[in-house]
Structure 1
Amino acid sequence: MKKITFIASLLFYTISFSQIHINEVDVDQTGTDVSEFVEILSDSPNFSLEGYIVVFYNGSDDESYKRVDLTGYVTDSEGFFIIGSSATPGVDISIGTSNTIQNGPDAIAIYQDEVSNFPNGTPVTNVNLIDAIVYGTNDDDDPELLAGLDQTVQYDEDLNGNKDTESIQSDGAGGFCVIAPTLRATNACILSVGESKADVFKIYPNPASNGYLYINSKLSGVKNVSIFDVLGKQVLKTVLNGDRLDVSSLKSGVYILKIEQERTSSTKKMVLK
């Protein structure tokens, strides 16, 4: 019975963490921003978006200014779904003609919730949150949006000085890069030639049995570390200055470890004995 329950928990974890996510956003362009968009990607094609909503948050007051109900829609044969300006090629839901998405510091979030629970002016929340991105265009970080949406990095569309011609794209490992838009196509993010995200962070021992885990990195600076159980509940969140992570407060079992450092992110399975 315990084995069945554990397998069911893992299945629930997979479903809750891998249904849909924010794949790309383009929030600033030349002129009046007539082709802004948010691209959602599902892990499976033709995925039903029943019960999902997208909420846009204003960084000036950390409250919502727009909401989009996805009920009744499905992703396409490649898993893509586009919300954006009416002139955006292939847009699935149009939210206006120009200046439809604020430039930052702001946020966009996906929830599995009723749209009626998010009237304009709703304070930022992580309840029923599926995915989120906090972003700007060469703006100071918004700590309230970051904390309210369980994020640690505010992504800058003007990172390369090309905010009018580049977008923020998921790198497939929990982070984002800034590069030329790839609407309804595979994102162009790369870490470096011949090197993958998995090569950046090394964790050991795994399984861990002495209450400590070591996280080695090829990058510099502090590491933002989050640990989730198989039900998707965050059980530990800390800022790590060195390599040694204290996990003695956690029970034996399987966990998901998320590491973020210098705008690079990686997610790994972790086992505690």
Structure 2
Amino acid sequence: MKTTLLKKTFMALALVVCTTSFAQIDYTFDTDDEGFSVTGPGSSSSHSATTGVLTATTGSGGSNLQLRKSANDIGNPTTLTTVLLDFKNNSNANSLVLQTVSGGVTTIETIAITAADIAEQSYQIDVPAGSTTWIGSFQLRLRFVNTAGNLDGGSIEVNRIQIVDPSTLSIEENTLSAFNLYPNPVKNILNISTNNTISNVAVYDLLGKEVISSNTVKNTLDVSTLSNGVYVIKLTSNKGVATKRFVKE
């Protein structure tokens, strides 16, 4: 009786794990490049992943910079149809192309991005309904280009790439996710750029321990007492709650 009950319990837990594991795909680059490679025409291309940031660089004269991940399984193609990206663009790239490769290169969607950013920006790419190539396992490609010519040899600092179900994104989260942090990495004073009214800010280490909390936030936060490393900042405002990561150096 006990054995049967334990088996049923383990089977239920396994089902929960399998079900929730595909609710969202999250690449955070905390320890490595998450299987992404970097390529593109030009004199050279390289990438490195440290303290939660994937930095991709291409030599000047290249027409594009590509982030590639092979055997990328997005799970249920009918629900995981939104790609969220947080990155700082230190180059003259002004367009980002989402592509898949499975028997041929297929462009899914193209969005405009800002060039020569002074702070990290957040972007969202929605996969068009009925896209037959957004299915199962394929090579995922993110291609950065300058629509007027070649790239200038700058870098792209990618903080996070997520593939999510758009129904899980609330209006408040979308509105507040536009806030920016700079400088990032930061030594002493972290600036918070947002049009919303901040009522509370909290900072957590990667173990989930709250290390800073304040209800009297303007648009700056003193992080000089923190040890070097990666942290998560949580903002509460009149538009809702949102989080982002930053690096203390």
The structure having more radius of gyration, on CA atoms, is: 2
With a CA cutoff of 8 Å and minimum separation of 6, indicate the structure with the bigger relative contact order.
2
Structure number with the higher strand fraction is: 2
Task: Please give the TM-score of this superposition, normalised by the length of structure 2.
Answer: 0.33
Q: TM-score, normalization: structure 1?
A: 0.30
